[in-house]
Amino acid sequence: MSEIMPEAVVCIPSFRRPEGLKKTLASLAAQKADFPFAVVVVDNDGAGQQGLAVARAFFAENDMAGLALVEPTQGNCYAINTAFRTARQSYPSAQWFLMIDGDEAASPVWLGQMVSAAKSFDADIVGGPVNREFDAPASRAVLSHPLFGSIEAPTGPVDQIHGSGNCLISRRVFETLPKPEFDVRFNFLGGGDMDFFTRCRKAGFKFAWNANALIIEYVPESRMAPRWIMERSLRTGIINYSIDRARRPGLKGGLLLAAKNAVSLCLSLFRAVSALLKTGSLLPATHPPLMSVGRVMASLGITLTPYKAPANKS
């Protein structure tokens, strides 16, 4: 166990992005926080373990308290759960557990701002904006696509946040939520964070937003391709339906959601036309109907597994 008594722990799930992880760790080393904190890195690549090597080297070379370990079972939710569990057990003094992805960088005031918001608004969970920086020049169609937009909201209480790429969760949440882990059914689809925060809202936990706690996500050129973007739109619909279905089980729930899917399909056509007129680009206009199609796919048991990576070949 570490000798320091951190008030907060930053958790980083990592999978085959060593250069991105270096940027993430460097941004944490530059934090202007007036309280002690620690970092936990979980490498989800049991074979290659590049993230483990990067994290251990960084902790050895820099004055930063941290732990690095491997979660050998592939799956984003497995890595996240291991990170939060390790952080809670290894640093019992910590009351705040934050998460940042291994392809992101935090602004210097990020950590301080997140903890400040939790205290100021007596919030159990805090979110903040994620802006994108593209590795290659982005077209107007990409820049105007909803998937790459950042939430613009004033600092203060909110009903719920949805993403874990910039979040703070209090120890109280993990200790009192009936199922205090990300659901591993979302391992390869994504959406485990949205499901987790939805359950937190239903359990009565308080949410807040801090517009000053900025994080930058670095978007590789591969994720700017129309095919990837359109598949992401489908996946968003699949995730939304999956969460709805978990909340509305049984025949009655299925019938209600079938009606919701039908309405969604009809409305999506009008939203597509509106997006086309607003942006002048076809790609953003595909987002509403593809999300609706994704909902229908999920209702038929069809899913996508974008986060299921092939095994490294020796």
Q: Residues 46-51: what's their mean pLDDT?
A: 94
Q: How many CB atoms lie within 10 A of CB 188?
A: 17
Tell me what pLDDT residue 1 has.
Answer: 39
Residue 16 belongs to some domain of the structure: yes
Handedness of CA 143, 133, 11, 170 (dihedral sign): negative
Query: From edge to edge, which strands make up the β-sheet containing 96-100?
Result: 66-70, 37-43, 8-14, 96-100, 166-170, 125-127, 207-209, 156-158
Domain's final residue, options 193, 224, 255: 224
Across the chain, mean pLDDT equals 93
Please check the confidence at residue 273 and state whether its pLDDT lies above 50: yes
Domain's final residue, options 189, 224, 259: 224
Q: What is the pLDDT of residues 208-248, one digit of tens each?
A: 999 999 999 999 999 999 999 999 999 999 999 998 998 89
- Based on the fold, state whether residues 167 and 201 are members of the same structural domain: yes
Domain's final residue, options 201, 224, 247: 224
Q: What is the C-alpha separation between 50 and 45, in angstroms, rounded?
A: 8
User: Is residue 11 within 8 Å of 83, Cβ to Cβ?
Assistant: yes
Structural domain of 103: 8-224
Q: How many domains does the chain have?
A: 2
- Return the CATH number at 93: 3.90.550.10
- Based on the fold, state whether residues 215 and 268 are members of the same structural domain: no
- Based on the fold, state whether residues 238 and 218 are members of the same structural domain: no
From residue 236, give the alpha-carbon distance in Å to each of 62, 210, 298. 39, 24, 10
- Based on the fold, state whether residues 97 and 199 are members of the same structural domain: yes
Tell me what pLDDT residue 4 has.
Answer: 79
Tell me what pLDDT residue 160 has.
Answer: 96
- Based on the fold, state whether residues 220 and 121 are members of the same structural domain: yes
Residue 266 belongs to some domain of the structure: yes
Give the pLDDT band of residue 308 (cuts 50, 70, 90): low
- Based on the fold, state whether residues 232 and 205 are members of the same structural domain: no
Q: Residues 137-150: what's their mean pLDDT?
A: 92
Q: Residues 96-111: what's their mean pLDDT?
A: 97
